[in-house]
Amino acid sequence: MKDLLIKNLASLATNRGKGPQGGKSMGEILEITHPWVLVRDGKILRIGGEELEKEAVDAEIIDGEGKTLLPGFVDPHTHLVFGGTREEEFSMRLRGESYMAIMEKGGGIKYTVKKTREKSFEELLESGKKTLKSMAEMGITTVEAKSGYGLDKETELKQLRVAKALQKEGPLEVVSTFMGAHDIPLEYKGRDRAFLDYLAEEVLPVVKEEGLAEFGDIFTEKNVFTVEDSRAYLLRMREAGLKLKIHADEINDLGGASLAAELGLTSADHLLKANDEGLRKMKESGVIPVLLPLTAFSLKEDFARARDMIDMGLPVAMGTDFNPGSCYSFSVPLMISLGALYMGMSPEEALTAVTLNSAAALDRADRIGSIEEGKDADLVLIDAPSYRFLTYHFGMNLVTTTIKKGKIIYNKR
């Protein structure tokens, strides 16, 4: 593998560390003007100046004149693999129907479940490849992919096998999450605990045997899964060797944040309605809040309280929540803009939220999420002289080059 030499940069900007950064540390960005960066064997070998040209061996060269180098963006929450789209439901919401009302009519997740069950492995794989290619154009280098549109053994495993194949083929790193507990299928209506038992006894053993997921997740919400049922099921997934996440306090303040803290989960996601006590407990337990502003934007809901969380010392991360219903978008530029303009985040905090803290939400901050010698060369070049243009030139995709482990996976022509 050739060396990669990035020269003549206007600037480089990154947070630093091998773990999540909370509170004031979220805003502590290292900015270097006119650096050169040398990559070898997929790792960042050296950050310096013109002297690196002599150290490079048969290097591929990128001229970064006028551009800024950032860590590759990490998307820690998506529902990547699915069948069908729900554009009609979006129109219904614009006419005033609520997301929960649409679900109660048989729309929402249940509609996507029907369409996903109908799709073949090959069809889902091709759709996933197309999405990953577009994500790379947004500067995303690592993405989480949840199941949860099967709600049966066959389709849940199919989704996870597709995600595993996407991880193998690239170009992005795909981190799989088993989320069979995304909704309650009609055949289990009124028997919530029986459905969780089915997932734990029939599906989870195969997930473990085939190595199909690194994380487990559950939708803890009114009319879906209670805190009590979620606790029991999360513990069963932990016993099976999965790291844990939770969809918490999105529509109602149900106590999901407190449950995440109690069990010491890796992350709690959404948190639009989370109360201060639950957030403080999360801080004490080291749970990472993953906020999803694109979903709140799409549903016209109040945004999660990023400013309050950061001021509490929490290491806020942001993900797109790309899915066919509540958020048919993986626009990193729009997500960053919403974080800054409507959630009270500084440009520095927003950058940390989509890089190092999002890497930590996937338990990968030791090797990705920042530009430091020895870490993987997951990098993004933007056509701007400073990282501040991410928020200043709002909503625009400034990415010109995306690099994964030292390999160029997108280059704007």
pLDDT class of 97 with cuts at 50, 70, 90: confident
**Considering only CA atoms, which of 172, 178, 214, 185 is closest in space to residue 332?**
172
The single-letter code of the amino acid at 297 is F
Residue 106 clears pLDDT 80, i.e. is over it:
no
Residue 103 clears pLDDT 80, i.e. is over it:
no
Residues facing residue 407 across a β-bridge: 404
Query: For strand 43-48 and strand 4-7, is the pairing parallel, antiparallel, or unpaired?
Result: unpaired
Q: What is the mean pLDDT of residues 221-242?
A: 97
pTM: 0.97
Residue 102 clears pLDDT 90, i.e. is over it:
no
Q: What is the mean pLDDT of residues 128-149?
A: 98
Whether a cis peptide bond, with omega within 30° of 0, leads into 185 is no
Distance (Å, whole) CA 245 – CA 104: 25
The DSSP secondary-structure symbol of 119 reads: S
Residue 203 clears pLDDT 90, i.e. is over it:
yes
Angle at 223 between CA 219 and CA 226, to 5 degrees: 60
Q: What is the mean pLDDT of residues 229-248?
A: 98
pLDDT of res. 110: 87
Give me the helices (H) in 151-286, please: 153-169, 192-198, 204-210, 227-239, 256-263, 276-285
Pull the structure tokens for residue 96. 């005033």
Residue % of the chain over a pLDDT of 90:
94
Residue 99 clears pLDDT 90, i.e. is over it:
no
pLDDT of res. 337: 98
pLDDT of res. 1: 87
> Using one digit for the tens of pLDDT, what is the confidence trace for 17-29?
999 999 999 999 9
